[in-house]
Amino acid sequence: MKLKLYSVAVATTFCAVMLFTTKTYTHSSVPDPGHSGDPLTNQTCASGSGCHGSTTQDGTSAIALQIGTSPNLLNPATASFVPAASTEYNLSVGLTGTAQKYGFELSALTASNQQAGSFTVNNTNVTSNTFNGIQYVSHKNATAAKTWIFKWTSPATINGPITFYIASNFANGDTTSNGDVIYKKAVSINGGSVGIISPSNLNNFTVYPNPASEKTTLSYNLLNSEYVSAQIMNSEGTVVKNLFAEKQAIGVVENTFNIAELAAGKYFVHINAGGKSSVKPLVKF
């Protein structure tokens, strides 16, 4: 939305709306919340605002959302991803395409269009705002950067699918809405039982006792004879303990490990079987 304020033209790139007497104008620092393309507002910075034209494009190929327990352990967010309740994850929004400047806005909703979890900003290029009780996370100070990482804490109770609604702006930087392209995309994860990506050849992966102080056991059912490896990582994604890396036979596998040397805190047990991974949180006290 590019409006003249008396005789001065205000040049903008992204649609953050500010009030000045009875006039409005936009700038590239922060987009208005409520423009992620979610079903509550059904608006982006094109549709319903006029900031960047009037058409929103399909962002299936332009927008990528990744999720993981640390910035170094991200995988595409898909329907097969199942978050643990009340667990902090890292989210990454990445854009594919060419422009002068880029921006985004994202929200997370349950199947009943309620707020799903909460966002924590840990990046100077990301911010969050609330609109009608829904938290929106977005770019801050649009630049040529087109990847943003921030944290999302899953809901305490997960009863169904969670959908991330993402809108992105590919701006040509000419200080008008002409030539800018807005995309939107919705990415759903299933919700439900604890875990991340369950390998098709590994069932019933559990870690017990949990919390644990000295020892913990990994238990799972291996459906095929596979090369299996497991590690314990801290919340930053650093490996703090290698557990094993070996070929294992079909059947129920249980291995107990000493974790007494680990400092008290929250960790993640990563297991890989046949090239696919699963993750369980582990609390050391």
- 0.85 cut: is pTM over it? no
Segment 59-95, tens digit of pLDDT: 989 999 999 888 888 888 887 787 888 889 999 999 9
**How far is residue 9 from each of residues 92, 101, 142, measured CA to CA in Å?**
35, 20, 20
CA-based angle 110:114:117, to the nearest 5? 70
Please report the pLDDT score of residue 9 as a whole number.
34
Which residue intervals of the chain bear CATH 2.60.40.4060? 4-189
The hierarchical CATH code for the domain 202-284 is 2.60.40.1930
Query: Which segments of 96-196 are extended strands (E)?
Result: 101-110, 118-120, 126-131, 134-139, 147-153, 162-171, 181-189
Distance between CA atoms of residues 221 and 201, nearest Å: 8
- Decide: 216 and 245 in contact? Cβ < 8 Å: no
Distance between CA atoms of residues 151 and 137, nearest Å: 10
Q: What is the mean pLDDT of the chain?
A: 81
The hierarchical CATH code for the domain 4-189 is 2.60.40.4060
Which residue intervals of the chain bear CATH 2.60.40.1930? 202-284
Q: Give percent above pLDDT 90 in the chain.
A: 41
CA-based angle 169:141:121, to the nearest 5? 95
- Decide: 142 and 14 in contact? Cβ < 8 Å: yes
What is the C-alpha radius of gyration for the chain, rounded to an integer number of angstroms? 22
**How far is residue 141 from each of residues 41, 95, 135, 196, 236, measured CA to CA in Å?**
24, 16, 19, 33, 26
The tens-digit pLDDT sequence of the chain (285 residues) is 333 333 333 333 334 333 332 223 334 678 899 999 998 988 888 855 556 666 788 898 999 999 988 888 888 888 778 788 888 999 999 999 999 999 999 999 988 889 999 999 988 899 999 999 999 999 998 899 999 999 999 998 887 788 899 999 998 877 666 778 999 998 888 654 434 445 557 788 899 999 999 999 999 998 888 888 888 988 766 778 999 988 899 999 999 999 999 999 888 898 888 767 788 889 899
